[in-house]
Amino acid sequence: MSEVNANIVDVLLPQSGMGMLDGEIVQWLKSEGTEVSEGEIIVEVEAAKAIVEIPAPCDGVLQTIVAAEGEVVEVRAVIARIIPKG
C-alpha cells in the first residue's frame, strides 16, 4: 500500500480483489498540505462497483495528490505522496 523513497512515502493504489486491475479516484478526503494520521482514510476509490477506502500509511503531511478525482489508475500506481513525521 505504500513505498518509502528517502523522506517521501508513496501511497499506492492497493489491489482489493483478485480481478482488480484499476480503480477510479472518487473523492479525496484530505487536501494537499494537511496533516494525516496513520490509518486515517484519505481517499475513496471505486473498484469493481465497490467503494474502497484507502488509509494513510503513516503520520505526516499529504504533500502531493498525484491522481485527481475522476481519474482511473492502475493497481500499485502512485496516487499520493506523504512527508512522514520525524
Q: Per residue in 30-61, pLDDT tens?
A: 999 999 999 999 999 999 888 999 999 999 99
DSSP annotation of 36? E
pTM for the model stands at: 0.88
d(C-alpha 60, C-alpha 85), whole Å: 5
Q: How many CA atoms lie within 13 A of 34 on its CB side?
A: 13
Amino acid of residue 35: E
Amino acid of residue 14: P
- The domain ranges of the chain are 2-84
Q: Per residue in 21-33, pLDDT tens?
A: 999 999 999 999 9
How buried is residue 27: exposed, middle or buried, by Cβ count under 10 Å (0-12/13-18/19+)?
exposed
Domain 2-84 CATH class label: mainly beta
Q: What is the rounded radius of gyration, in angstroms, for the C-alpha atoms of the chain?
A: 12
Nearest CA to 65 out of 47, 56, 4 is that of 56
